[in-house]
Amino acid sequence: MKEQNFTSIDHGSDNFSCQNCSHQVETTGAGSSHRNHCPNCLFSLHVDDEQGDRAADCGGVMEPISIWVKKNGEWALIHRCKICGELNHNRIAADDNPLKLLSLSVKPLANPPFPIERIKDLL
Ligand SMILES: [Zn+2]
Ligand SMILES: [Zn+2]
């Protein structure tokens, strides 16, 4: 299988295959000029220092770990690099997997840091 990565996305319409889930990602028609994460699993690659600059040499897979709700109500994804631990944020795109976004947003509630069966004692 030919290895392609997210770095091809700044060349315009080059499609690429996600390094996490192998989803074929189309870089056009996403409602965004730069698609920087996979719409299926929401993983990204550590290729930017600042958004869109392609200046990072790391190249690690970045896992979506949380949702950031901005002032205007817009959602952004918080990505964490699996190699160097760097945190990044990226706007969600129109074709991002809505179930994946929702499951990410309720993850802390589904995995509270205390025993969930004791929750009635806390209420
Ligand atoms: Zn993917
Ligand atoms: Zn990194």
C-alpha 118 to ligand 1 mean position (Å): 36
Q: Is residue 29 part of a domain?
A: yes
Task: Report the predicted TM-score, pTM, of the whole model to 2 decimal places.
Answer: 0.76
* pLDDT (0 to 100) of residue 1: 45
The reply to whether 71 falls in a domain is yes
Structural domain of residue 66, as residue ranges?
6-122
Instruction: State percent of the chain over pLDDT 70.
Output: 82
Q: Cα dist. 71→37, 58, 115 in Å?
A: 22, 30, 32
What does the CA dihedral 21, 104, 93, 50 come to, rounded to 10 degrees? -90
Total domains present in the chain: 1
CA of 45 to the centre of ligand 2 (A): 8
- Name beta bridge partners: 88: 79
Distance CA(81)–CA(30), nearest Å, equals: 23
State in Å: Cα 41 to ligand 1 middle.
4
Is residue 102, in this structure, part of any structural domain at all? yes
Q: Report residue 102 as tokens.
A: 């929702």
What average pLDDT does this structure show over 104-118?
88
For residues 28 and 13, the answer to whether their CB atoms sit within 8 Å is yes
What span, in angstroms and rounded, lies between the C-alpha atoms of 95 and 116?
34
- Name the amino acid, one letter, at 64: P
Ligand nearest to the CA of 48: 2
Residue 65 lies in a domain: yes
Ligand positioned closest to the Cα atom of 58 = 2
Tell whether 69 is covered by a domain. Answer: yes
77 lies in a domain? yes
Stretch 37-44: mean pLDDT: 94
Read off the pLDDT of residues 70-89 as tens digits, 9 standing for 90 and up. Answer: 999 999 999 999 999 999 99
Residue 1 within any structural domain of the chain: no
* Residue 105 confidence (pLDDT) above 90: yes
User: Taking ligand 2, which is a single-atom ion, which protein residues have CB atoms under 5 Å away?
Assistant: 46, 58, 60, 81, 83-84, 86
In a domain, 46, yes or no: yes
Q: How far is the CA of 53 from the centre of ligand 2 (A)?
A: 14
